[in-house]
Structure 1
Amino acid sequence: MEHDLVVFVPGFLGTRLYRDGQDVWARCSERLIDSAATALTEAALPPGLGDAMPDAPHRLDAGGLLQVPDSVPGLLSCLGYPDLRAALGDPPDAQFVPFGYDWRLSHRLVARQLKERVARELDRWRAEADARHPDRPDDPRVILVCHGTGGLAGRHYLECEGGRDTARALITLGTPQQGLVQAARVLAGKAVPGGAGPDGDMAARLNEALRAWALNLPAVAELLPNFRAVRVEGGARERTITQRPVPGVPSEAVQRMRAFQEEFRLACDRNGRSGTLPYEVHCLGSVDFPTPEALVLPAGPGGEGLADDLLGPGDGTVPRRSALADWTGTDPMLWTGVRHADPAGAPALRDTMLAVRRGRTPDGSLAGPDGIVLHFPRDPVAAGRPFVIELLGHDLPQRDLRTFMWRSGRVREKQPVVFEQYEPDRYRAELAAAPGRWVVEAEVDRPKGRDRRDVTVVAV
């Protein structure tokens, strides 16, 4: 309700990470674009950390929310949260808590940190609420809004750390409830597709650096898929990662994921004996964008590597089958045209927040595709080499199509992008760019629609 405290939990990459006042992750990210083999050393964690905090020199301080696009190639990307306050209905400063945290760490540990922060902030806000909301119907509670993997920490806090006693509502935006295929690819050393020649060398360097870094990150292990996400090339049967191990993915990582998911499930079962959930759950998801939903392993004992993933409906990162929050015992899904990396850029979040804060239930008017989709067949791409972007949508030229490209953080330097139609409702543009992170945006009217995607261009 309008007198409740609003707490925002960002996802993987969504918090800037500092040491001695220096943005360590930003420095590592830039080195990764330059294909440096040691790019991620400064942001590494020691092996066997589990649910503990790292000691120096591995400990990093959580700063503010991400404001510009960033990504881990082959795993996740985030366009940042520059418009977050507006998307959350413009809550007053005293009533809004952005929860920054070290997204490399265990979601269990982050859930405990969230518990401590919420307790402090809720006590503070309740002391102020009398003056601001004298006619409130009850004491303030918490509206927890979580983007992406932040929803895993948020739900763990609610069901495993006693947070359900203080929550009014949980709103998730593209949370991978059952994990991601991409996490298995990173741990297998196959996050970035490789080829022959210089592009293959680039992919090999990136994959080696990403795997060495991700192997010791508890958060990545806990993101391994817990659904039937493995298929053998030429076959139709899908298995779980425990039934059909993926070469290169350590069994310890798989066990960690299973233990994390099982602990949450047991807590939900235990808490469910007392009745229905004491808080509302609203999960924004999408089925409008091609999304990896199954790993494809080579057939036969001599096969090596991984084939291209099977694509299915999702938000571009989280497939539909992982987005479903079946642990609630209800159907909390709100299907929208929101891409995973860009939740604050869609009106659906604001509509949901306003409905919850006014004591109403969000309805089906939030659902429905934007009707325009950008698709990059491959990310990252090599600097100076042409790459293709596809655009899908009905009758786009007659809907005042506008397309632009700009370097991350330089939105005032937008460059127009020209797409050519090659099939009905399908368009293609061939681009080349210097190393860095770039954003491509397409907008149309009648009805309005927009899609934005980021692409990482790395040095060869």
Structure 2
Amino acid sequence: MEHDLVVFVPGFLGTRLCRDGQDVWARCSESLIHSPPTAGTLAEVALPPGLGDALPEDRFHMDAGGLLTSPDSVPGLMSCMGYPDIRAALGDPLTAQSVFFTYDWRLSHRLVARQLRTRVARELDRWSERVDAHYPDRPDDPGVILVCHSTGGLIGRHYLECEDGRRTARALVTLGTPQKGLAQAARLLAGHAIPGTGGPGAGPRARLNEVLRDWALDLPAVAEMLPVYAAVRVEGKSRPRTVADHRYPVPGLPAATVRDALGFHEKFRSARDGHRRTDRDGRLPYTVHCLGSGDYPTPEAITLSSDGAYATLSDDSPLGPGDGTVPRLSALADWALGDESPMLWTGFRNADMASSAALRDVLIAVRRGSPPGSMLAGDEGIALHFPAPAVVAGQPFAVELLGHNLQGRNLRTFMWRSGRTARQPVVFEEHGTDRYRAELEATPGRWWVEAVVDSPKRFDRKDVTVFAA
């Protein structure tokens, strides 16, 4: 497998979206943070309603630039640290042997999977003509090792099972992929991405939620992130529900958007089931390796109020184990692995999972045809948690720190603004057994908080977006 073509597919936010050479998303994102949001704040990165699996016309089109190399986020949905060391993370394949597939992450994963098919076919033909010069003693013709970060895994699996990618695929490696969707996508599309608004029209957070919702409702990729597991909890009811349960519809979440999400997942499942009947012993013709994490508090459900109208979402977001973005129960590729035993559990957050530290050893093993280790995480973890993923400047916000005997392990904590090097210390106070808490304030921008301990050495970092009032 060392002679195979390595194709990296980034996740949502992982590609720079440009027009006339300018990074349009970066400009709009900064405007969203530093100015009170309005209906026009994200107009440059909007798509027309009802686009589905089609390409947008010219005035909505944006070019896929290079891979993201610095941290970015969509408040209340997900973050991406960028991919500055991606070649090292992939095990240092030859330049001619590696492909970094960039794309417009606003568009339908189905459409992007078709684009990936075209690109992989072209690149595999190119590499097949050159492989003899580098691997003259190879046992067979080169195949494809597909490495997909976050939602890139939804594209990768659709390409393999629905776009005939399985014909040349050797392996699929997914890194923090929401195989069954994200609770945050439902909150975002229902207008509750940022908790603590206090109801409709209640201040800058409510305006921000409205702007984010209006923008995201027309992005096919976000609809396809809706959870298909039982991610809805109703106060006073013991059994979780799905977003498709018509008896308890999520307020503000359009039924058509829910149908689109279900259709996306159903098409993939149907293709996989069809192939299962013809595959030898029902086995995939390629191997699947899934990296995930259960070390960080992660939203895994949304809560509806118990009044008869179900008019609002509770500000409380039920948390469970996960990678900070994808809950553990959604990270498992049960369509390929069956149960959790083959999962590769790491100690990294979703945003960091495509880093060299998280991925390199796994990819080296995969490319050698060796089984990667089944347990990559340590036992003495440390986790930061922001009850609110985005806050308003001038208002204090809380950050929690979880871990065993942190004060006895030389705990150091800092915060800094993204893009700047100056760090300031953060003071955490004990807030219960193995729990610590700090109250912070910050100026508008993207901020990072980091905690480091020794014996053994562990660290965690988490971003929070501070918006102008």
TM more than 0.5: yes
Secondary structure at the aligned position of 2:274 is classed as helix
What one-letter code is carried by the residue in structure 2 that aligns with 1:401? L
Q: Which runs of 4+ in 1 moved over 6 A?
A: none
Distance 1:85 1:417 in 2: 34
Q: Deviations over 1:202-233 (max 9, x none)?
A: 11111110111111111111111111111111
TM-score, scaled to structure 1 = 0.96
Distance 2:338 2:371 in 1: 14
Unaligned regions of 5+ residues in structure 2, if any?
none
Distance 1:196 1:211 in 2: 17
Residue of 255, 279, 282 corresponding to 2:289 = 282
Distance 1:222 1:369 in 2: 34
The equivalent of 1:246 in structure 2 is 250
**Aligned: 1:267 with 2:271:** yes
Task: Give the direction of change, closer, same or farther, for the CA distance of 1:370–1:154 in structure 2 (3 Å limit).
Answer: farther
Distance 1:364 1:370 in 2: 17
Distance 2:206 2:134 in 1: 57
Deviation at 1:255, TM superposition (A): 0.7
Secondary structure at the aligned position of 1:434 is classed as coil
**Aligned: 1:438 with 2:430:** no
- Alpha carbons 2:150, 2:178 under 8 Å: kept: yes
TM-score, scaled to structure 2 = 0.94
Task: Give the direction of change, closer, same or farther, for the CA distance of 1:368–1:200 in structure 2 (3 Å limit).
Answer: farther
Deviation at 1:329, TM superposition (A): 4.7
The equivalent of 2:23 in structure 1 is 23
Distance 1:59 1:221 in 2: 19
Task: Give the direction of change, closer, same or farther, for the CA distance of 1:346–1:385 in structure 2 (3 Å limit).
Answer: farther
Q: Deviations over 1:276-304 (max 9, x none)?
A: 11111011111111111111111122442
What one-letter code is carried by the residue in structure 2 that aligns with 1:253? T
1:117-156 correspondence to structure 2 within 5 Å: 117-156=119-158
What one-letter code is carried by the residue in structure 2 that aligns with 1:384? G
What one-letter code is carried by the residue in structure 1 that aligns with 2:370? R
Deviation at 1:416, TM superposition (A): 2.8
Aligned residues: percent identity? 67
Q: Deviations over 1:130-188 (max 9, x none)?
A: 11111111111111111111100000000000001111111111111111111111111
The equivalent of 1:418 in structure 2 is 427
Residue of 378, 387, 405 corresponding to 1:377 = 387
Task: Give the direction of change, closer, same or farther, for the CA distance of 1:9–1:131 in structure 2 (3 Å limit).
Answer: same
1:356-435 correspondence to structure 2 within 5 Å: 356-369=366-379, 371-410=381-420, 412-435=421-444
Stretch of structure 1 that moved more, 20-29 or 32-41: 32-41
The equivalent of 1:83 in structure 2 is 85
Deviation at 1:394, TM superposition (A): 1.6
Distance 1:291 1:137 in 2: 44
What one-letter code is carried by the residue in structure 2 that aligns with 1:281? V
Distance 1:116 1:196 in 2: 48
1:199-218 correspondence to structure 2 within 5 Å: 200-218=202-220
Distance 1:391 1:345 in 2: 23
Deviation at 1:311, TM superposition (A): 1.1
Residue of 343, 361, 375 corresponding to 1:351 = 361
Deviation at 1:422, TM superposition (A): 3.3
Stretch of structure 1 that moved more, 152-161 or 201-210: 201-210
Unaligned regions of 5+ residues in structure 1, if any?
none
The equivalent of 1:39 in structure 2 is 41
- Alpha carbons 2:383, 2:460 under 8 Å: kept: yes
Distance 1:114 1:94 in 2: 18
Secondary structure at the aligned position of 1:238 is classed as coil
Task: Give the direction of change, closer, same or farther, for the CA distance of 1:248–1:144 in structure 2 (3 Å limit).
Answer: same
Distance 1:436 1:208 in 2: 20
Stretch of structure 1 that moved more, 449-458 or 296-305: 296-305
Deviation at 1:35, TM superposition (A): 2.9
Deviation at 1:346, TM superposition (A): 6.4
Task: Give the direction of change, closer, same or farther, for the CA distance of 1:196–1:163 in structure 2 (3 Å limit).
Answer: closer
**Aligned: 1:337 with 2:341:** no
What one-letter code is carried by the residue in structure 2 that aligns with 1:250? P
Deviation at 1:397, TM superposition (A): 3.1
What one-letter code is carried by the residue in structure 1 that aligns with 2:172? L
Secondary structure at the aligned position of 2:204 is classed as helix
- Alpha carbons 1:50, 1:106 under 8 Å: kept: yes
**Aligned: 1:326 with 2:330:** no
Secondary structure at the aligned position of 2:99 is classed as strand
- Alpha carbons 2:345, 2:375 under 8 Å: kept: no
Secondary structure at the aligned position of 1:438 is classed as strand
Secondary structure at the aligned position of 2:218 is classed as coil
The equivalent of 1:309 in structure 2 is 317
Q: Deviations over 1:367-415 (max 9, x none)?
A: 44551101111120111322221111122233333322222122x3233
Deviation at 1:423, TM superposition (A): 3.0
- Alpha carbons 2:344, 2:375 under 8 Å: kept: no
Secondary structure at the aligned position of 2:60 is classed as coil
Distance 2:304 2:329 in 1: 20
The equivalent of 2:4 in structure 1 is 4
1:40-79 correspondence to structure 2 within 5 Å: 40-79=42-81
Secondary structure at the aligned position of 2:59 is classed as coil
Distance 1:422 1:345 in 2: 32
Distance 1:184 1:298 in 2: 15
- Alpha carbons 1:419, 1:429 under 8 Å: kept: yes
Distance 2:136 2:427 in 1: 56
What one-letter code is carried by the residue in structure 2 that aligns with 1:383? A
What one-letter code is carried by the residue in structure 2 that aligns with 1:31? S
RMSD: 1.8
Deviation at 1:264, TM superposition (A): 0.3
